[in-house]
Amino acid sequence: MTDHCLRLLRQHRRLAELAAFPFNFDLDRAADGHGEPVRLASGGPLEVVAGCDTGGTYFVCPDGSLLYADSEGSAGIMGSSVDEALEIVIGLPGWRDCLRLTPADGEEVILARVTEVEDEMREYHGIDAERAELRAALGLSDRSPVELVGMLHTALLRTEPDFLLLNADEGCAYDLLDPHPRPPLWESVRHEVPGDPAGQPLSTWTRLAADQGLTEHARVALIRRLDEIVMDQSELLRPGSRKDLDLSPLLELTEEFERLGDPQQAVRAQHLYTALLR
């Protein structure tokens, strides 16, 4: 896929207006940027290409994938290119209300939910003629809702590990845009340990992941763990205690981030350790 559709939207005002309404992919909002400074945990540039009326932002990632970040602190990949993402945005204008759907739900359930969402939209404005016009002008296929839900589901599952979005100032991660479960880190690491792998320290798996070249898998797991502790310091309570904290996990996180060459996250962990010592 290419950015053919994006070029057409930029060249033709009528098409850009259709994309903005009723499909809420507004090129004019790109000039506003996002509501806060953000960056990818994996590094590389982000280009703002559009926004929506709820404060969300569409970013093109280094590999061309389109990332959507809402104004509530959640983000997810929408497609492997702008063109693919636009197929979903135009074909499923109510995609935000379909994020829980998966291909496993089956055609009947998917069609019922999509119909429900789009019928609610039709109570306020048209979408059918507009969708047909925009699809034809951009050369997009007339895909079924079932196929589009499958495309969206596949795209969302690609968000981690390579496209984890961070608040650039604070270093904390955005939540996933969707609720779909992801496999634990140990399932991605080709290594066997005695006993229950889930009972092993996180560092066991992050070090193995890093050694196997799965740096972003390790980084995501460590950042998510640090964020959990930042948000709920009871995670550090010693067993059986209501107030005594074990701060060693923060020192371990600091060390693991340093191993990965991620000084910002190492400093986050160290600062929290120092603050909790007082």
**Is pLDDT at 246 greater than 80 in this prediction?**
yes
What is the residue-averaged pLDDT of the chain? 95
* pLDDT given at position 2: 57
Same structural domain, 34 and 144: yes
165: confidence class by pLDDT, cuts 50, 70, 90: very high
Number of domains in the chain: 2
The percent of residues above 70 in pLDDT, for the chain, comes to 99
Same structural domain, 201 and 268: yes
248: confidence class by pLDDT, cuts 50, 70, 90: very high
Same structural domain, 139 and 202: no
1: confidence class by pLDDT, cuts 50, 70, 90: very low
Residue-wise DSSP of the chain: --SHHHHHHHH-HHHHHHHHTTT--BGGGGGG--SS-EEETT----EEEEE-TTS-EEEE-TTS-EEEE-TTSEEEEEESSHHHHHHHHHH-TTGGGGTT--GGGHHHHHHHHHHHHHHHHHTTS--HHHHHHHHHHHT-----HHHHHHHHHHHHTTSTTTT-EEETTT-PBPEESS------HHHHS----SS-GGGS-HHHHHHHHHHTT-HHHHHHHHHHHHHHHHH-GGGGBPTT-SS-B--HHHHHHHHHHHHHT-HHHHHHHHHHHHHHH-
Residue 272 belongs to what domain range? 184-277
pTM (2 d.p.): 0.95
Domain membership of residue 178 (yes or no) is no
Same structural domain, 270 and 222: yes
Domain membership of residue 171 (yes or no) is no
